[in-house]
């Protein structure tokens, strides 16, 4: 892949989209689609807009017109979509559509979620409790659970009547973390045969976290680590951060195996992040003491040298990287973001203010824009809006331009 240089392009060819958007020819399942929101009208008596969701392809062309009140990204050829129905308590019903917008499972559930990686079973509910269905809508088993997780490695973590329970794909209880006196958050997932849990004292300071095996045995006793957005094993390793007093004067970041043995000869870094697509981000301190991020492979070898002030995980063969970061205290990762491939080559110019993750050939980014308003002290008011880009950094949809009704 060659680096795309110059100005970023806006590829969307829809313009101001209305409900009468022209349907493109039916797409084969291999073509990825992106859900986008479009203003389709105005609420009576107020300034708020009515929004519906449709789907664009990776060139920005609308291929499924905006007729849904809610829509998800596609997974294995199916997406969750909702339509308005004033006769039901929450006002919407959900079902499943294919890449042509055809209903594979008609909208008749209050909510529906993907239950497994393969699109054959789904969680659904019409009241407060969830049940498992197949793609025809046939109920496979019912539960008394109000909170659910997708199945992972044949097991799902659910919450039923104030008990957290691990069930198999037949709905049979395997064990209950609640009965063992520990906390397992929901949703949660088994990874590499391990499920994290927190003992009663876990809220004090560093997370005191351990792991169950699939039979409910404590495979890894609670160990001090720092809480992260994803505190699970990933691709055979756990990205751990020791307390300073436990690091023995060394850098605190390291990787652990499912047997809780240090990986890579207990090599250490200042910070570490989970593996994704065979690579994991690790940080060292630069000459100015600021963190610089690079990537290691599954052998612990540095394959992309530390050079970026911030990075995201690899997905679809690309990782978002920052070449500059705004140092102001409230910027929260704002900077100049582009993307690299697995060789470390910059293949997307750093034209974006926020980090992103490529999914199915596209990414959504919350980009800032000038609202045109000026405060009494002369400061201009800035807001954010979602834009969608393809893997080359071309803007295929800008909500501020393509998703709004004309106000003329």
312 lies in a domain?
yes
- The whole domain housing 269 covers 234-358
This prediction has a pTM of 0.86
292 lies in a domain?
yes
CA atoms within 13 A on the CB side of 296: 21
- What the block records as the tokens of 154 is 């044949």
85 lies in a domain?
no
329 lies in a domain?
yes
Could you give the CA distance from residue 6 to residue 37 in angstroms, rounded to a whole number?
28
What is the number of other CB atoms lying within 10 angstroms of the CB of residue 28? Answer: 7
403 lies in a domain?
no
| pLDDT by 10s per residue, the chain, length 408 | 444 444 444 444 433 333 333 333 333 344 589 999 998 776 555 555 788 999 999 999 999 999 999 999 998 889 999 999 998 888 999 999 999 999 999 999 999 999 876 668 999 999 899 999 998 999 999 999 999 999 999 999 999 999 999 999 999 999 999 999 999 999 999 999 999 998 887 554 556 789 999 999 999 998 767 655 567 899 999 999 887 777 888 999 999 999 999 999 999 999 999 999 999 999 999 999 999 999 999 999 999 999 999 999 999 999 999 999 999 888 899 999 999 999 999 999 999 999 999 998 999 999 998 888 888 888 888 889 999 999 999 999 998 888 765 444
Q: Could you tell me which of 13, 10, 61, 67 has the C-alpha nearest to residue 33?
A: 61
298 lies in a domain?
yes
Question: What is the domain count for the chain?
Answer: 1
408 lies in a domain?
no
- For 225-254, the DSSP string reads E---S--S-BTTBEEEE--GGGTTTS-SEE
């Amino acid at each position: 892949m060659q680096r795309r240089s110059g100005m970023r392009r806006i590829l969307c060819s829809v313009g101001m989209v209305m409900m009468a958007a022209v349907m493109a020819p039916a797409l084969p399942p291999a073509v990825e689609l992106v859900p986008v929101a479009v203003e389709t009208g105005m609420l009576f008596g107020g300034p708020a807009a009515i929004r519906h969701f449709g789907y664009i392809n990776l060139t920005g062309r609308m291929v499924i017109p905006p007729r849904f009140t809610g829509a998800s990204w596609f997974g294995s050829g199916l997406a969750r979509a909702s339509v308005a129905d004033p006769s039901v308590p929450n006002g919407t019903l959900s079902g499943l559509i294919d890449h042509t917008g055809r209903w594979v499972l008609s909208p008749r559930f209050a909510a529906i979620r993907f239950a497994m990686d393969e699109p054959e079973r789904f969680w659904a509910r019409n009241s407060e409790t969830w049940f498992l269905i197949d793609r025809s809508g046939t109920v496979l088993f019912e539960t008394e659970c109000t909170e659910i997780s997708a199945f992972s490695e044949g097991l799902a973590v659910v919450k039923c009547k104030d008990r957290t329970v691990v069930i198999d794909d037949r709905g049979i209880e395997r064990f209950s973390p609640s009965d063992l006196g520990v906390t397992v958050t929901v949703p949660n997932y088994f990874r590499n045969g391990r499920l994290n849990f927190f003992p009663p004292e876990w809220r004090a300071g560093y997370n005191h976290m351990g792991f169950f095996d699939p039979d409910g045995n404590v495979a890894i006793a609670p160990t001090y680590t720092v809480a992260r957005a994803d505190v699970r094993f990933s691709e055979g390793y756990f990205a751990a951060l020791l307390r300073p007093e436990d690091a023995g004067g060394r850098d605190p970041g390291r990787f652990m195996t499912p047997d809780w043995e240090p990986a890579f000869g207990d090599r250490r870094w200042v910070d570490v992040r989970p593996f994704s697509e065979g690579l994991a981000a690790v940080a060292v301190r630069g000459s100015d003491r600021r963190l610089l991020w690079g990537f290691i492979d599954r052998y612990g070898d540095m394959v992309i040298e530390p050079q970026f002030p911030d990075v995201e995980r690899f997905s679809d063969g690309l990782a978002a990287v920052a070449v500059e970061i705004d140092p102001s205290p409230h910027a929260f990762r704002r900077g100049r973001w582009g993307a690299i491939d697995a060789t470390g080559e910059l293949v997307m110019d750093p034209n974006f203010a926020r980090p992103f993750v490529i999914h199915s050939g596209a990414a959504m980014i919350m980009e800032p824009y000038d609202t045109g308003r000026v405060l009494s002290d002369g400061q201009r008011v800035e807001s954010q809006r979602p834009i969608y880009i393809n893997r080359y950094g071309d803007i295929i949809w800008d909500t501020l331009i393509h998703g709004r009704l004309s106000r003329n």
